[in-house]
Amino acid sequence: MIRFWLFCLVLLSCLAACSTRAPDLSTFSGIATRVHDGDSIHVTPEGQGRIVIRLAGIDAPERQQRYGSDARDHLASMILNQPVEVHCYKKDRYKRQLCIVFHDNTDINLAMVSAGLAWHYKKFQNEQTSTQRRQYSAAEQKARTEQRGLWHDTTPIAPWDYRS
């Protein structure tokens, strides 16, 4: 009998660990007060301190990389000093909130990929909904095909390769 209950406990633990339910989201609005680079910003909700945000699902060139300044400038042109709504679901290892950022109902993360100034970060695509995965992948493929932004280069260096 003890073996049966132990088996049930292990089975329930495995099912809980393997759950595919969507993560809990934290949604808030604020002003995009700083654009650090093509995928990191600061948002300041009214009456609160700044919150450091990492745009989820994308990876933009580092500031020192080719197209790094272009990515930062493009992101700034879309949202700097503008109201944004952010949908966050966890913190990264640097304690930044991982979020999808919206301005005027536009998914800014997706807009960066569409502009050819960020990669769809496939390493973390399991954290996206299936719709987001399809949209971000299609946007990257279209930007590549049309040679937009960093895809103008024949062999752009992905940020994760540049960092390592």
N- to C-terminal Cα separation, the chain: 52
Q: Which of 34, 50, 62, 66 is catalytic?
A: 62
Catalytic residue among 3, 34, 50, 54: 54
- Which of 137, 119, 126 minimizes the C-alpha distance to 90? 126
Q: Which of the residues 3, 93, 96, 144 is marked catalytic?
A: 96
- 83, 102 in Cβ contact below 8 A? no
Compute the distance between CA of residue 106 and CA of residue 83 in angstroms, rounded to an integer.
12
Query: Does the active-site annotation cover 62?
Result: yes
> CA-CA distance, 106 to 115, in Å (whole number)?
13
Residue 140 falls in the annotated catalytic set: no
Closest to 126 (Cα-Cα) out of 12, 25, 22: 22
64: three-class secondary structure by DSSP: coil
Residue 43 CA, distance from chain mean position = 15
The reply to whether 134 belongs to the active site is no
Instruction: Measure the CA–CA gap between 94 and 54, rounded to whole angstroms.
Output: 10
User: How far, in whole angstroms, is CA 54 from its chain's centroid?
Assistant: 6
Q: Could you list the active site residues? A: 54, 62, 96
